[in-house]
Structure 1
């Protein structure tokens, strides 16, 4: 009799195909929990570091008024957008059904993606931020294996991106969803693979247009360390590397594709089976938490492989910073430039590692121009 009870229980835990119906969501939740634990470890070491604090503009370095206005507009606008999505996609659905919408969970996943935002600077600096924005520096220097120096000084715009990452990325997903729905209505026989490609390409275009507008008109960030042959407006401070749209828009687009293909219960692939987990059966809260962590696991994994790993390799081969790069991006942050003791990256200089600053602190220091003059004699 005990054996028959065991058999019946094992059958109840399996779906019609004989496989564990909770395996997918369980695996993604474990992956998500691993990423969250790692990020908390890095954040702890960042906030307890002696250097923790804002990167402020030094005397004599000014930010033009238009970029002050643009930066504050992004901070306020994106905060309002995120509050709107929190209410419509998390609070309101929980009140009505006990569960948040997947779009809201994806917004949470995008919030955690801020952790990897400056990952293109892993080997050497390529992106810069406006220190006029509210910032506390950033945690890059505490990520194990981070190479480029002074990563802690990068003025990551925390208020702007806390709303901007979920807000902008949710907008992009909605754009990708609209493109896929249009393609499906226009070509009913289109395969799922081609439909997914349509969605990813649409988000890539969305990213390119949005980022170029943000850079040019708000001055909140820029990509001076880019490969000019692969950039739009190459040679100017507002240049935009096309590969940013390909890699960042690529992982972002796959999140839109995930959102498109839901089952009849409104669950994406990574959430399916959550209702079968014993841990979740009697608690809407635990069910929502497992779904959220699973979605975070998907977002983090796709971002890591499609964006975080390839972008530093491209930045390591970037051309020099454009001559018209505003001083508030370089000298203003203290990361590189005249008077900072560290030259901004360029191909004729060796790549500086963060431990090189201490290793060679006692060595004679001469400027690049002085070194070129000595070599010419």
Structure 2
């Protein structure tokens, strides 16, 4: 997170303006308040209980009635809060894939390229979580349906529906904005109209645009993730670490 912040600062200094990715990082940083929405019905995903954390504020959300609320905590660096800005890394990975496909398929229209956003988003999410979850143990999906998960039945299983939701919402909106602006040689959509402003109001407006976009995207994402358990849950896999799901 520190390295990402420094990179964004140097990027803004180099360009003399708040960049799109800097605005998105700032926006994602202030989406931490939405984390309990993912546990509106049942705790999913579940963060490492041994990580630095605080008690969830989900009980203050009207109607919040998650089962086993003691399992839903708010971690600072493991899965929520200050980790949310790192979602931008998924978008960067997807943008690399999309730029590669654009060079290989220059004659394809925007409409024909749209399915590629879902495909590259799924690939990016799978690679990131496929390594991050088992290597760090920061969080897991122990109640996912085994037959609808990658590595189903293992404690580090990844529910396919969550991967698709991540691909459609956490990566693709931002990636598409940058990709289409590169393709058409225009300003990123949410920054249009700010080009002629003085530096200070321009910076404020761009940061607010990033905050708005990130919070809308994260609200939809957390809401849909929170609804996934309504489709069904599976047994907690044998061997699930106690820091994720206590045996008692």
Same fold by TM-score greater than 0.5: yes
Aligned with residue 243 of structure 2, among 318, 328, 331: 328
1:226 is matched with 144
Per the TM alignment, residue 153 of structure 1 is displaced from its structure 2 partner at its CA by 5.6
Q: Flag the 1:232–1:94 CA change in 2: closer, same or farther, 3 A.
A: closer
The match for 1:309 is: 223
Query: Does the CA-based 8 Å contact 1:271-1:291 persist in structure 2?
Result: yes
Query: How far apart are residue 275 of structure 1 and its match?
Result: 3.7
Q: Which runs of 5+ in 1 are unaligned?
A: 1-81, 332-336, 339-377
Identify the residue that residue 106 of structure 2 maps to in structure 1. 188
Q: Contact 2:46/2:71 (CA < 8 Å) preserved in 1?
A: no
Q: What SS is found at the alignment partner of 2:201?
A: helix
For normalisation by structure 2, the TM-score amounts to 0.85
- Of structures 1 and 2, the larger Rg is shown by 1
Distance 1:153 1:314 in 2: 17
Equivalent of 2:56 in 127, 134, 138: 138
Q: How many Å separate the matches in 2 of 1:313 and 1:301?
A: 17
Supply the RMSD in Å over aligned alpha carbons. 2.5
Equivalences, count: 244
**Corresponding position of 2:193:** 273
Q: Which among 25, 34, 55 is matched to residue 107 of structure 1?
A: 25
* SS across alignment from 1:236: coil
Could you tell me how far apart the structure 2 residues matched to 1:206 and 1:236 are?
A: 21
Residue 257 of structure 1: which of 157, 176, 182 is its match? 176
- Of 133, 138, 153 in structure 2, the residue corresponding to residue 235 of structure 1 is 153
Change (3 A) 1:287 1:152: farther
Give the alignment's TM-score, normalised by structure 1.
0.58
**Contact 1:200 1:254 survives alignment (8 Å):** no
Q: Give 1:102 shift.
A: 0.9
Q: C-alpha separation between the residues in 2 aligned to 1:288 and 1:324?
A: 49
Taking a change above 3 Å as real, the CA distance of residues 138 and 308 of structure 1, as seen in their structure-2 partners, is same
Question: Gapped runs of 5+ residues in structure 2?
Answer: none
Contact 1:130 1:328 in 2 (8 A): yes
1: CA distance between counterparts of 2:164 and 2:34?
A: 16
What SS class does the counterpart of residue 309 from structure 1 fall into?
helix
